[in-house]
Amino acid sequence: MQAPSTNDRRKFRRFPAAQLQVSWRIRKGFFTPYALAQSQDFTREGVSILVKRQATGDSALSKGTRVELRLVLEMATGDLVVERLVARVQNQRSIGDATLYGLMFDFAANRYMRSEHTKAQLGRIEGILDRTEKLRLRVQPLNAIPAFARNDQS
């Protein structure tokens, strides 16, 4: 997990989203298909996704665009699926042949987004990712931690 930068303005800690699958679509039509994206990190307030640029180089998303998301957290006991999430693009940054989008959930968008159930599901995903990250850090070898890595430059 990346160390937080000094100019990070997030309220909540970011969690790497290795097991989280994100599908998105622009909220224009009812039958618009979902597109898969690679999730970079997750909080209960939003998610960042990495989207490959199309051959034309045009980006379907821009700042302020409203999107609908489908999140699937893969677990050994079964998948946790949260659908019909509404988010807005807050920022974007080019990374090679892809674009990294920061999406913020829009809890005022509709009744489903205002429901406590939706907020609880997002909190549950965050909790699972938090526990997974803590376990990963606990079981990693000591030489993988920079502070404990041995300098074998004898």
CATH number of the domain enclosing 26: 2.40.10.220
Q: How far apart are CA 151 and CA 35, in angstroms?
A: 45
Query: Number of structural domains, the chain?
Result: 1
Residue 128 has pLDDT above 70, yes or no: yes
Q: Is residue 41 part of a domain?
A: yes
Please tell me whether the overall predicted TM-score, pTM, comes out greater than 0.85 for this model: no
Residue in 21, 17, 25, 18 with CA at minimum distance from that of residue 44: 17
Q: State pLDDT tens for residues 59-108.
A: 678 898 899 999 998 887 778 899 999 999 999 998 888 889 999 999 99
Helix (H, G, I), strand (E, B) or coil at 103: strand
44: left (phi over 0), alpha (psi -120 to 50) or beta: alpha
Task: Determine the pLDDT at residue 56.
Answer: 37
- Domain containing 134 equals 15-55+63-140
Q: How far apart are CA 146 and CA 2, in angstroms?
A: 13
